[in-house]
């Protein structure tokens, strides 16, 4: 994705196997990341969610910026659906001219998400709380 995987997540054995994450109760940073990854893994294809909404659904309160920073550190090639996380109001926050921005747009379009003027219609493509993947 964006940024480098610089070892900040070494304590997560395998990020893509999010369902096996069982952090110790006393490891708050790992617990927060596990909650984020588990929630993000549930976003269905063709749906999007804002950074703030994802934080709230993961039980992290108003941590939209923390979510953005954490997602920017995911390792390249992760199977987590980072591309389905967007800015408030349906805005795509990754610049279109960057490799990650291009990849996000391509992945969303491949899932049937319409993008107009770097925005997604969240009324049509927003992840509703009643929807669950798989």
Q: In 3D, which of 45, 1, 40, 37 has the Cα closest to residue 20?
A: 37
Within a domain: residue 49?
Answer: yes
Domain assignment present for 66: yes
Rounded Cα distance, 112 and 65, in Å: 27
Cα four-point dihedral sign 21, 24, 30, 31: positive
- The pLDDT assigned to 80 comes to 96
**Is 1 a member of any domain?**
no
46 domain residue, yes or no: yes
CATH number at residue 23: 1.10.10.10
Handedness of CA 22, 11, 3, 106 (dihedral sign): negative
> Does a structural domain hold residue 5?
no
pTM for this model (two decimals): 0.78
CB 5, CB 74: distance < 8 Å: yes
Would you say residue 23 has pLDDT above 70? no
In a domain, 8, yes or no: no
pLDDT tens digit sequence for 76-126: 889 999 999 999 999 999 999 999 999 999 999 999 999 999 999 999 999
Whether residue 31 is predicted with pLDDT greater than 60 in this model: the reply is: yes
| Number of domains within the chain | 1
- pLDDT reported for residue 18: 52
The answer to the question of residue 132 being in a domain is no
Show the domain range for 78. 18-125
């Amino acid at each position: 994705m964006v940024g480098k995987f610089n070892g900040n997540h070494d304590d997560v054995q395998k990020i893509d196997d999010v369902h096996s994450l069982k952090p110790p109760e006393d490891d708050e940073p790992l617990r927060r990341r596990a909650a984020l990854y588990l929630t993000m893994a549930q976003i269905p294809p063709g749906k999007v969610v804002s950074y703030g909404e994802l934080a709230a659904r993961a039980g992290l309160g108003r941590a939209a910026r923390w979510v953005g920073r954490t997602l920017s550190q995911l390792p390249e090639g992760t199977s987590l659906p980072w591309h389905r996380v967007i800015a408030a109001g349906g805005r795509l926050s990754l610049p279109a001219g960057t490799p990650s921005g291009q990849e996000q747009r391509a992945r969303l379009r491949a899932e049937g998400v319409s993008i107009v003027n770097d925005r997604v219609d969240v009324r049509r493509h927003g992840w509703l709380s009643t929807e669950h993947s798989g």
